[in-house]
Amino acid sequence: MRDGFRYDPYDLVLTQHGLSASRVLEAGRGWCVTKAVLLAAACRAVGIPTKVGFADVRNHLSTARLRETMKTDLFFWHGYTSIQINGQWLKATPAFNIELCERFGLLPLEFDGRADSIYHPFDRAGNRHMEYLSMRGEFADVPLEEMVRTFAEHYGHMSRLSDANFDDDVARETQPAPARHPDAEPKTADVTVGQSSSSPSE
């Protein structure tokens, strides 16, 4: 569930079908809410009780395009799945696939059925990653009307991102610098006495 369906926050459709498990199956990708809905549906299909949980978070994993469009790093209605196992309700978060975690230097989440699995506050390098600011509760289904009101209030200025490609943006922003050939000589500037060593702006 985590890796079989890629995380894509650009694929945001706030309709009943757009937030359904079948939508993720059709697209092969989804964002935190729809991937949580899919995990809940898969568990229910085999008789495991589930709910869909939500929290407001400060998320430091985003692309330049997403930050510019949202004008904030505050994500309202971040989704996870609450699963009942042996009489205990546990949180599972299937959002970020492992390739995305590797590119951004994050610790991928594992779910062992014994403890909550929610995002780490820091990445592998010790930088701030995810802050859970408030919990909105757990529901049998997505509270669509309330979510739409919140998004209209806080993200009403946003343009649609469906024409952009999240994977391409991630690849561009996390692409490592090309390695220098060990035999390559360092470049030196040609400096003539009496002339500026600065390169012309053209």
Structure confidence by residue, pLDDT tens digits, 78-92: 999 999 999 999 999
Residue 47 maps to a domain = yes
Number of domains forming the structure of the chain: 1
Residue ranges making up the domain that contains 96: 6-159
Residue 107 maps to a domain = yes
Strands in 50-59's sheet, in edge-to-edge order, are 88-92, 74-85, 50-59, 130-139
Residue 165 maps to a domain = no
pLDDT at 68 over 80: yes
pLDDT tens by residue, 78-133:
999 999 999 999 999 999 988 888 888 888 888 999 999 988 888 888 888 889 99
Cβ-in-10-Å burial (0-12, 13-18, 19+) of 150 comes to: middle
Residue 58 maps to a domain = yes
Provide the percentage of residues in the chain whose pLDDT is more than 70. 86
Residue 182 maps to a domain = no
pLDDT of residue 175: 65
pLDDT tens by residue, 10-35:
988 999 999 999 999 999 999 999 99
Residue 170 maps to a domain = no
Residue 197 maps to a domain = no
Q: Which residue has the higher pLDDT, 43 or 162?
A: 43
Residue 164 maps to a domain = no
Provide the percentage of residues in the chain whose pLDDT is more than 90. 50
